[in-house]
């Protein structure tokens, strides 16, 4: 049997420009300034993970992820990669928060373990292979520009539209009116305020948007005010999904206990990876709260892990895993199988994605290895 003792860890920086900037209520994405973690067991077997830090959401940058990775990596050397529970407990005990870089370690550990056992990640997680549809995200812009983007997405075969909002009542209603007119009444339309409204504006805007058949609204108010989120949910005609208020299983328990939302948006980059995301799903299922898996600006490598995670858990009924389309040419091979909005995990061992060797050679990086 293959040894699963961790022998060395590589940490790389990479930067990729988005095809177009993505503006949300609290910031703007123009690049993915990410981190890759490669964890080795021996000289042949490795797992890969990706961090996609969002400074205005997770509080991390590429620089902080890189330095945190350098501090965390030595804790794993010489230890069993299959004991993911212990490895992630060690990382979480050594450094609180820093969910993006922990996600990269977690992703690499799950990839390594599943590869070593010859299993696709969904099967390693105990789930089955299923296909599903992702929505496509439109950033904040003028009503005309957002409507045009929505019409183009519909024409290209998109399944659902997710529109970023979170400005003023009048402007946001104008955006949704224009989008709905462009795509018709049948196409699912979701909105995401990214904490942009205060409580009164959230309630007024959601009531004004009721005629436009909105499937749900993500994070209408600031992340820390769960009481406001609960009140908005109680007065909103549109279901409410928690996003920035939900990082880990402790948040999930609080949100469920308060009845603060109708849905959970699980992002691996907020949860610190699969290890904690699984606990969120368990709490959600116990509380009767359906889930979505979302993304930041991950390449197909990070997105593939999300696709496997969705596949493994039937309680996850929505997907917002479209960031692979943010890039013109990301250096990723393999990975999840996409046909427009239609996604399915591959049957390759692990998450199935890898990075082109020539791209790795161009990246700044460091190797953390044991003695001898």
Q: What residues are labeled active site?
A: 164, 192, 218, 243, 267
Three-state SS sequence of the chain: CCCCECCEEEEEEEEEEEEEEEEECCEEEEEEEEEEEEEEECCCEEEEEEECCCCCCCCCCHHHHHHHHHHHHHHCCCCECCCHHHHHHHHHHHCCCCHHHHHHHHHHHHHHHHHHCCCEHHHHCCCCCCCEECCEEECCCCHHHHHHHHHHHHHCCCCCEEEECCCCHHHHHHHHHHHHHHHCCCCCEEEECCCCCCHHHHHHHHHHCHHHCEEEEECCCCCCCHHHHHHHHHHCCCCEEECCCCCCHHHHHHHHHHCCCCEEEECHHHHCCHHHHHHHHHHHHHHCCCEEECCCCCCHHHHHHHHHHHHHCCCEEEECCCHHHHCCCCCEEECCEEECCEEECCCCCECCEEECHHHHHCCCEEEEECCC
């Amino acid at each position: 049997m293959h040894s699963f003792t961790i022998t060395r860890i590589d940490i790389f920086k990479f930067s990729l420009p988005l095809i177009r900037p993505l503006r949300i209520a609290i910031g703007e994405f123009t690049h993915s300034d990410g981190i890759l973690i490669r964890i080795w067991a021996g000289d042949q077997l490795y797992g890969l993970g990706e961090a996609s830090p969002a400074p205005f959401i997770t509080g991390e940058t590429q620089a902080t992820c890189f330095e945190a990775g350098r501090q965390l990596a030595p804790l794993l050397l010489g230890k069993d990669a299959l004991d993911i529970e212990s490895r992630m407990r060690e990382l979480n005990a050594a450094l609180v928060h820093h969910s993006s870089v922990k996600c990269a370690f977690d992703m690499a550990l799950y990839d390594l373990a599943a590869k070593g056992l010859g299993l696709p990640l969904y099967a390693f997680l105990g789930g089955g292979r299923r296909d599903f549809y992702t929505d496509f995200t439109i950033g904040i812009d003028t009503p005309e520009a957002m409507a045009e983007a929505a019409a183009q997405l519909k024409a290209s075969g998109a399944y659902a539209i997710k529109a970023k909002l979170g400005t003023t009542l009048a402007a946001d209603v104008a955006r949704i009116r224009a989008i709905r007119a462009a795509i018709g009444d049948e196409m699912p339309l979701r909105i995401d305020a990214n904490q942009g409204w205060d409580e009164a504006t959230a309630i007024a805007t959601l009531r004004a948007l009721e005629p436009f058949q909105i499937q749900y609204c993500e994070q209408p108010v600031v992340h820390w005010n769960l009481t406001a989120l609960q009140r908005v949910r109680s007065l909103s005609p549109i279901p409410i999904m928690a996003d920035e208020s939900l990082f880990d299983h402790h948040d999930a328990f609080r949100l469920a206990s308060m009845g603060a939302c109708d849905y959970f948006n699980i992002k691996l980059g907020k949860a610190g990876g699969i290890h904690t995301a699984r606990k969120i799903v368990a709490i959600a299922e116990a509380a009767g709260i359906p889930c979505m898996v979302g993304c930041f600006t991950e390449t197909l490598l990070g997105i593939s892990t999300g696709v496997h995670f969705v596949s493994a858990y039937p309680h996850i009924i929505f997907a917002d895993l479209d960031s692979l389309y943010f890039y013109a040419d990301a250096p990723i091979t393999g990975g999840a199988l996409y046909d427009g909005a239609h996604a399915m995990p591959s049957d390759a061992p692990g998450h199935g994605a890898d990075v082109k060797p020539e791209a790795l050679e161009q990246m700044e990086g460091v190797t953390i290895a044991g003695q001898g």
